[in-house]
Each structure stands twice: as structure tokens, then as C-alpha cells.
Structure 1
Amino acid sequence: MNHVVGPMNLGTLIVSPRDHVVAIADLDDTAAAVLGPLLRDTARVVETLCRPEQTYVCMWSHGRDARKHLHIAVQPVTAEVRARYGGLRSEQLQARMLASGAEPDITEVGQFCERARELFRATTTSAEVPS
């Protein structure tokens, strides 16, 4: 994915279909069958790299006045993240993060992405090996 939804904490990954889709209900059978394992693998990568207390998986599709494009955020939430935002959780935490405009350090983002790519490659490779 080449665009950013908004400022979230380091380790947040976005899953989004390449085709223009605005709702999960609009996914075709093939895309729906791919989505579950992809979300699981994405959550595993986030959990492995960030060791969060919890990993949020949230769907967003809002544009200015209508649905725009399906985005599913896979977000690690650690005690440190919650403390930085006054102990907030769930949608209140995400709203505060987005409103703050604070973005992770670009160098740290690049390092995280490289480690995530390595884990995704390992997952893909192991999934292709017949048992």
C-alpha cells in the first residue's frame, strides 16, 4: 500500500485491497478467502515485532462524504502507547492519536518495515512448502 491513513503508532500496518472496494460486504469470494489468512498473518507479524498487550484490527472506509476505500488497520497497543495517551483504549485511543498528528520517527518506521517484510517473506515461504 502506498498511502497512509493517518498518524498511528509504530507497528500499525494497513491491509487494503488493490481493487476498489469500499466495504467488506463487497468483497468477492476470492478476496474474502484471502482476507482472513492475510489479517491473521499481519497480526502475527505485529505481535512478534511489538509484543503488544493487545492488537486492534479495525476497518475504516470513510471519505469526506461517503465510503472511499476499504482499509483495515492492524495496530499494536502497548502499555507505553496507552500511557502516552492518558490510558485511553479502543476508538478513544485511536481518535486521540489521529487528532494529535504525532507520527513515528521515519527511521524507526523504515526499520520496522524491513523486519516486517522479512517475517512476511518467511510466512509466505513456509506456506508454500507442501506438508
Structure 2
Amino acid sequence: MESESPGERPDCLACGLAAGTVPLLGGTLLRSPHWTVEHCVGPLGVGTLIVKPLRHITGVHELGVEEGAELGPLLTRVTTAVRTAVGDECEQVYVCLWSHAGRVPGHIHFVVQPARTSDIDRHGGAYGPGLQGALFAEGAEPETAAVEEFCGRVRRALGAG
């Protein structure tokens, strides 16, 4: 089960990003034997990272023993790096699992998102799912230079470059 390779689903954006067949702003930030860490594509803001399994799976129940054993320590490491890279404006770091697109289960990914004071204030005090919804409604894609700069900071915080 755990022997399937990344990029196994040609119609899957997450697989394409992990395999390098789809351009990834900021590049791969960290790769472990079973997981990859990337900057999020879409409107969730600079510093929102994705932690996803290299295998195409659609539910946590599909994780193998080794994948599961890696997950907790990896999420702790990544959330710590995000908090460090964002600094004092980071009120909280959200971690949530997403795996739906068009109501179809897709490649699972954990969204690791800094909840910045400026984003919360800009969206009328919205936080948690409300903040994520407001960011999607706003639809603003992060600027390339800002993502690249953040990725450099988070790599240093991860000790990966």
C-alpha cells in the first residue's frame, strides 16, 4: 500500500505539484519519506502551507503505519516554523484537513495557516473557518515575491536551507 509513488494520479493537482509536473511557487519546502510540505496555491494568504502525503490517498484512514507515525512530529515542526517565520503578528496557527473538490474526495492535505492579526482585522474580526471563508471570498492570490520570500524564511526555520 505505501509503495505507490508520488504523482500517481495525472488528474490530481496535489500529485502534480508533488511530482514537479505542475509549477509550484516557492518549491518544495521539506520532503520526508512519506510527506511533502509546500506553500499553498490559492487565496489563503502568504505563509499558508500544505502538508500532504506523497501517496494519493483520500482519507486519513488510508494512512499506513509509517505515514501515520511521521505525521504528528511533522505537523509540530511545520507549525513551529510557520509561527517563527510570521513572527509577532501570528495569533495562532491553524491546522485543518481538506480533501474535497467539487464534493469529490481528493488527495488529503493538511492546511497549516498563520492567523495574522492584520487578516483577522481586515475581515471584521473573522477567525477560524470564518477567516478562511473570507479569504476565499476575497479571492486574492498572494504575490509571487512575497511567497518566495516567505518560503526562504520558513526553510531557514525548518533547518532545510
The aligned residue for residue 29 of structure 1 is: 65
Structure (1 or 2) with the greater helix fraction = 1
The structure whose RCO (Cα within 8 Å, separation 6+) is larger is 1
Deviation of the 1:121 alpha carbon: 2.7
Report percent identity of matched pairs: 39
Q: Does 1:117 align with 2:130?
A: no
Aligned residues: 123
The aligned residue for residue 56 of structure 1 is: 94
Deviation of the 1:65 alpha carbon: 3.2
Q: What is the CA–CA distance in structure 2 between the aligned matches of 1:105 and 1:79, rounded to whole Å?
A: 19
Correspondence for 1:20 among 30, 45, 56: 56
What one-letter code is carried by the residue in structure 2 that aligns with 1:23? G
Deviation of the 1:122 alpha carbon: 5.3
Q: How does 1:53-92 map to 2 (within 5 A)?
A: 53-92=91-130
Q: TM-score, normalised by structure 1?
A: 0.86
Q: TM-score, normalised by structure 2?
A: 0.71
- Name segments (4+ residues, structure 1) moved above 4 Å: none
Instruction: Provide structure 2 residue ranges, at least 5 long, that are not aligned to the other structure.
Output: 1-13, 18-23, 25-39
Deviation of the 1:116 alpha carbon: 1.3
Q: Work out whether residues 79 and 93 of structure 2, in 8 Å CA contact, stay in contact via their aligned partners in 1.
A: yes
What one-letter code is carried by the residue in structure 1 that aligns with 2:46? L
Q: What is the CA–CA distance in structure 1 between the aligned matches of 2:43 and 2:146, rounded to whole Å?
A: 14
Secondary structure of 1:118's aligned partner: helix
